[in-house]
Amino acid sequence: MIAAGLQLDIAWEDPEENFPRAERLAAAAAGAGARLVVLPEMFATGFSMDAEKILPFTDRIREFLAGLALKLGVWIVGGFAEPGDPRPRNALSLLDPGGREILRYRKIHPFTLAGEPEVYGAGEEVFTAEVEGVRVTPLICYDLRFPELFRAAAERTDLFAVIANWPERRRRAWNILLRARAIENQAFVLGVNRVGVGGGEPHSGDSTLLDPFGRARDRASRREAVVRGAVDPGEVREARERFGFLGDRRPGVYRKLEEPSRKEE
């Protein structure tokens, strides 16, 4: 299966400006054979903390994603802010080529440095769906810094799709962490980031598709672009059979190490 990440320059809090940008790149990706098209975190608004302003766009954004999937006949991952109780959520949907939502994921780790936990509530579950024979687990931005999420889903995942608004000043961490998540979980990783300035922060993109050994299949920086490549579950199986690192894990010991130490009476 060909997977593609759309590296967009996102107009701030302006979905109607962003929809044609997303559609143009999505059409190019589909025309080049992509079956899964992945958009950045909050692709239609930017990473805005003004939930009151952007939440009214939620239904329109989801309608756009469903219509785009149907029009192009592809699977799509797209992120948006959604209403929630007691707080809204930073979420994404995976839609099939008929425009039907297959899963919805809520960001488990709101980004403290940006004040995100004060605006958006945290999710509690990780979901995996099969996309034309490829097991796909989507996550959002700051989740990348928490290997526990990836490890929990590793054995049921061929491709981790990480959507982001990751700023340029932390690009070194982005690039290293994407590669680490691919290597340690022996899975493909597609990191899809934005370019341009959003909320006063420059973004360099650095969207990348990595194979199960952490080798880049495609990469782009500092410009709008489509990052694409083949994702083959057979490569994941082969890597894991040849190097049985996941089988050497000792989850029982790890859980014990996390327990508070007990003082002898």
What is the pLDDT tens value at each position of the chain, 265 positions in all?
A: 999 999 999 999 999 999 999 999 999 999 999 999 999 999 999 999 999 999 999 999 999 999 999 999 999 999 999 999 999 999 999 999 999 999 999 999 999 999 999 999 999 999 999 999 999 999 999 999 999 999 999 999 999 999 999 999 999 999 999 999 999 999 999 999 999 999 999 999 999 999 999 999 999 999 999 999 999 999 999 999 999 999 999 999 999 998 876 554 4
Q: How many CA atoms lie within 13 A of 190 on its CB side?
A: 29
59-77 as b/e: b if 16+ CB within 10 A? eebbebbbebbbebebbbb
* Cα–Cα distance for residue pair 256/234, rounded to 1 Å: 34
Residue boundaries of the structural domains of the chain:
2-258
How many Å is the Cα radius of gyration of the chain? 18
Instruction: Report the distance separating Cα 171 and Cα 185, nearest Å.
Output: 21
Global confidence as pTM: 0.96
Which of 2.115.10.20, 3.60.110.10, 3.40.1390.10, 3.30.70.3000 is the CATH number of 2-258? 3.60.110.10
DSSP 10: P
Tell me the CB-side half-sphere exposure of residue 244, using CA atoms within 13 A: 4
Active site residues: 41, 107, 141
For residue 137, the surrounding DSSP H or E stretch is strand 134-140
Q: Which two tokens stand for residue 222?
A: 């500092």
Taking the CA atoms of residue 246, residue 252, residue 257 and residue 262 in that order, the dihedral angle to the nearest 10 degrees is: 180
Tell me if residue 7 falls in helix, strand or coil: strand
